[in-house]
Amino acid sequence: MGRRKETITYSSTFSTSVHEGSAGAGVQFASTLDSPGDQHGSVVEHYRPRVSYYMREQVGNFHYGKQHPMKPHRLTLTNHLVLNYGLHKHMDIFEPRRATEEEIREFHADGYIDFLKRVTPDNQKQFADCFSEFNIGDDCPIFDGMWDFCQIYSGASIEAARKLVSGSADIAVNWMGGLHHAKKYEPSGFCYVADTTMAILQLLRYFPRVLYVDIDIHHGDGVQEAFYTTDRVMTCSFHKYDGEFFPGTGAIDEMGSGLGKFYAINVPLQDGIDDRSYTQLFKTVMTAVMETFKPGAVVLQCGADSLGLDRLGVFNLSIAAHGECVKFMRRFGVPMMVLGGGGYTIRNVARCWTYETGIVCGAELPDRLPNTVYNEFFAPDYSLHPQLSGRVVNHNSRAYLNALTARILEQLRYLKGAPSVQMQEAPPDIQGFLESEEKRQKDVDDDRDKDTKEDRRGRREHLAELYESDHDQDADDSSILDV
């Protein structure tokens, strides 16, 4: 594909630089950043990322409906803050093309795409019989320009992936994307087209292994489902889970199947988690994931509904803590795509994604927001870091988090190092490669079933293994993760 192959060397120190040019008033660019090497693994030395930023101003004009919590206008607020902080002088800015119908059909079912293309608010009564089939309703309504909206945000993610593959960017940012609930056959959770899945499929044309990390408060179910049977993609989602909170998936024992067994990592959390608990857990888990899986590229979904005071969220995270996750992943020096996602208190979404744009550029942004035509959204404090924590009681006990961490680290130990995948210069059959891997694993699974039993929840247990389960007599703490 033309991208040079590089060996990533890890070190215990980190420095960064940016393209020459003056930033907005008060913006400073750090020559050094705190290294996570001592406690949370090693980082690349002298890492100078080239950042590509994807924006299309008109995307903020789409409207799901007056009462709908999803407001694309948050993207307009974000872009205005980014530009008025002067961050555009330190990135390559692109107005991406729309994804083609053929590109979207590489993942999505033909019948579903035919429906999305044709239905509009004016003719939706003609398609009413299809609404239940395609999950159309309050969460996923029909709105003006819906197909255009899908093409715009998915086209940006596809272009960002290709930029990383070509080697012309080290970090690619698309706040329009990250709509992680969309499925092959239907929309879900405000998400119509699976831009994240399509971007990962592009990355798999070159990179042997891709890591997907999700810090949205909702489980990244669409992406997990798409790659549940392959070992070339590891999905790692940090989210609220109680069996009822949308989308109702993301239990710790959802680990993948077939070749993908153990390659789905789920970190189910309770209401009210705070900055310290979240960032410590994130760094511990992601250090182990990076060391075990050794991805060639990372896709980081930065849903901002995990912030405190979000309209649909129940966490207590500050913008600084949310951004700390981005900062930590940046330090590994692996090609990375940074995407948006959820976030429904739009003034805080814009603050968060602006702050994280500064992080990928190596910028330290002043707390006082720059003037924009949207100043009134940020009254009365006009600050980048308002107080967001403390509304919800933290139900994540130290015992729970310790047990959760132990379970995840134990899951990673089953992998025994990164899978070996031959590099391919020619693109593989994107539509069929997951199905072929699953078929290839079937005979192995049939043999393995002879040596396993199934517990009452459908989980597989090897007869010769000793670990805590529902059948243990001394598993005093095992129920703590039955969430």
Enumerate the active-site residues: 181
How many CA atoms lie within 13 Å of 439's alpha carbon, on the beta-carbon side? Answer: 5
Give me the helices (H) in 210-274, please.
221-226
Q: If 0-12 CB within 10 Å is exposed, 13-18 middle and 19+ buried, where does residue 7 land?
A: exposed
Q: If 0-12 CB within 10 Å is exposed, 13-18 middle and 19+ buried, where does residue 482 land?
A: exposed
243: left (phi over 0), alpha (psi -120 to 50) or beta: left
Angle subtended by helix axes 73-84 and 346-361, to nearest 10: 40
CA trace torsion 179, 180, 182, 187 (10° rounding): -50
286: left (phi over 0), alpha (psi -120 to 50) or beta: alpha
Enter the tokens of residue 340: 């948006």
Say if strands 460-462 and 452-454 run parallel, antiparallel, or are unpaired. antiparallel
Q: Which helix (H) or strand (E) holds 164?
A: helix 146-166
Residue at 431: amino acid letter? Q
Query: Rounded to an integer, what distance in angstroms lies between the CA atom of residue 273 and that of residue 227?
Result: 28
Q: Report how many helices (DSSP H) and strands (DSSP E) the chain contains, helices first.
A: 12, 14
Closest alpha carbon to 403 in 473, 466, 476: 476
| Strands ordered across the beta sheet of 171-174 | 92-94, 51-54, 171-174, 336-339, 297-301, 210-214, 233-240, 264-269
Answer whether 286's CB lies under 8 Å from 328's CB: yes
